[in-house]
Chain A
Amino acid sequence: MNKAEILIIDDEPQIRKLLTINLENHDYKVVQATNGKEGIALAAAHPPDLIILDLGLPDINGQEVLKELRSWFTSPIIILSVLDGEDDIVIALDHGAADYLTKPFRSGELLARIRSAIRRNQNSDQHTELIFKELKLDLVARQVWLRNEVLKLTSTEYNLLLLFAKNEGKVLTHRFLLREIWGASYVHETQYLRVFVAALRKKIEANPNKPEYIITESGVGYRFL
């Protein structure tokens, strides 16, 4: 029913096959490229709805492919990376990747990332209300409700929560969050983020030590679910 088109750029035939079977099984149309050049050419010839890009390509560095694509391709790009490449992941995210997955990844995780990336891309229309599990954000009144009770948030806490909520399901890097909330000169002041995330968790999480809304992605950033 959705027939969204996905371009896979990965040199490993087994990974391409696995992704293709999985995606076609969930009604996506799949196009494959085995290297960076081919990927860029295919994306240019017929822009897909989403690109899955492996960072370790044989011909061009995946980061270069991402930069090249990002200069004209506006739909989401999801990065595939090997485990422990946190630096690479952060760089890719800061250069406009929509999300990332580390190999080996679980199929459910992959599909969730794809769905949420495509949805965010389509849903740019203005909402006046956002609802997540027991949390409700009233964007007009700038008010947050948790289980039908109004939460008292400072304006920074509210802005942070709103930023998270608007990017539901997407990993947000420290750099991105700091720039959006505090400004470009604060991109290295991670301590602000730590303090405010802790404060926000205390207010919205049932158990702040086992968060269900704001999840930490170690070495990368936070993800709001």
Chain B
Amino acid sequence: MKMWSRRWNMYQQFGIGLALVTFASLSCYVLNDYIGFRAVALILLLTVSFSAMILDIFPVLLTAFLSALIWNFFFIPPVMTLRINSAEDGLMFLMYFAIASINAVLTHQIRQLEEKQRDKEEKDKSILLYNAILNSLSHELKTPIATIVGSLDIITENKGKLEPATIHELHDEMAIAGNRLHMQVNNLLNMSRVEAGVIKAKPDWTDVEELLYRCITYFKEEGDRIEYQSLGEVPLLWLDEGLVEQCIINLLQNASRHTPAGTGIHMETNYKSGVLKLVVSDEGPGFKPEEVDFVFDKFYKIDKTSTGGTGLGLSIVKGLVRAMEGSVDLNHSGKFKGAEFTIKIPCKSAQKIQIPNE
């Protein structure tokens, strides 16, 4: 009901009210001889009630006022005058007007209450979601900060009493925490850039295979799990190298985080009819089919896993790919049994450069 009155502006609502009353009055005028002018009052009241369900208060009051006048003028004898002869008819006319108005006001109040309730429910829901996000985020940010501050405290408070090996260990922990914090903040910054829509692809000629091999080297020892296979020659492509790199790194990070150590992660490329296809697949547990729709949502994390992610990586990928006018899809159980992400980006390719004999 609420949606209807929102869909129409005030003028349209007045028009609808007017049309309803006119239509009901005309019908009653035809039926008047069979049903009598008192039954007409009931039909007109029904019309007012109906309009109260779909219209705002002022158009409804108009239908109430107008139908009362019409009833008086066309139906209460003597017809074609506003005069009322019998006291009984006068009372009925007044009651008609009162009931129609009360009808309009009550319906309006009920609808307002309903609306308030719905708003409150929506607000509660978004507060709940917001809290979940904030909890996850503050956990992800505060854990590394706690590690750094705590390690520093241990070192300053125990001057000269700690084993060199312990100090070394604490330093390592601080370094890991620092890197983690750095990564989280980068994710948040990237996400806000994606959200603000300020990311614009700045393409240049890109050697995709070189880029992919470079992505592997960022993963250090973990990189040994990653294997790249080209399905046919990939020419130089007109791409934003930085954006593609960010997408691949996020997908690889996601794969390495959610799959057992030592299992393979596979990358494949293919360039066909103006579209670059990049596939990242793993041998992990994959996704449940019902999760596929949510994995690209902001802050979505499977089973609230505490694997060090903010749940932003994949939604960043989606945003970046969109900035390149491409698409990203997830096959929940792919070629290598695990998750399989496919990025498709339309782009032009370079002519093969003829290297002159020198």
Contacts and interface: CB of A to CB of B under 8 A. Distances in A.
A112 B217 CA distance: 21
A104 B182 contact: yes
Interface stretch (B65-73, B117-125, B204-212, B304-312): B204-212
B279 to A, nearest CB: 18
A149 interface: no
Interface string B225-263: 000000000001000011001000000000000000000
Contacts of B205: 190-191, 194
- Bin chain B's interface residue count: 20 to 34
B189 A195 contact: no
B358 A219 contact: no
B213 A198 contact: no
A127 interface: no
Given A104-B182, A190-B205, A210-B217, A84 B353 contact: no
B214 interface: yes
Given A191-B205, A218-B245, 18 more contacts: A83-B186, A84-B186, A86-B242, A104-B178, A104-B182, A155-B358, A156-B358, A174-B204, A191-B350, A194-B205, A194-B206, A194-B207, A195-B236, A209-B209, A209-B213, A210-B217, A216-B210, A219-B242
A154 B353 CA distance: 15
Contacts of A194: 205-207, 210, 236
Contacts of A190: 204-205
Interface of B: 178, 182, 186, 189, 204-207, 209-211, 213-214, 217, 236, 241-242, 245, 350, 353, 355, 358
A210 B206 CA distance: 17
Given A156-B358, A191-B205, A198 B210 contact: yes
Contacts of A83: 186
Contacts of A199: 355
- Bin chain A's interface residue count: 20 to 34
B214 A191 contact: no
A192 interface: yes
17 contacts: A84-B186, A84-B189, A104-B178, A154-B355, A154-B358, A156-B358, A174-B204, A190-B205, A191-B205, A191-B236, A191-B350, A191-B353, A192-B353, A194-B205, A210-B217, A216-B210, A216-B214
B51 to A, nearest CB: 58
A192 B355 CA distance: 9
A156 B356 CA distance: 10
A210 B220 CA distance: 11
A219 B178 CA distance: 25
A219 B241 contact: yes
The 6 A-B residue pairs with the shortest CB-CB distance in the complex, in nearest-first order? A209-B213, A191-B205, A154-B358, A190-B205, A219-B242, A155-B358
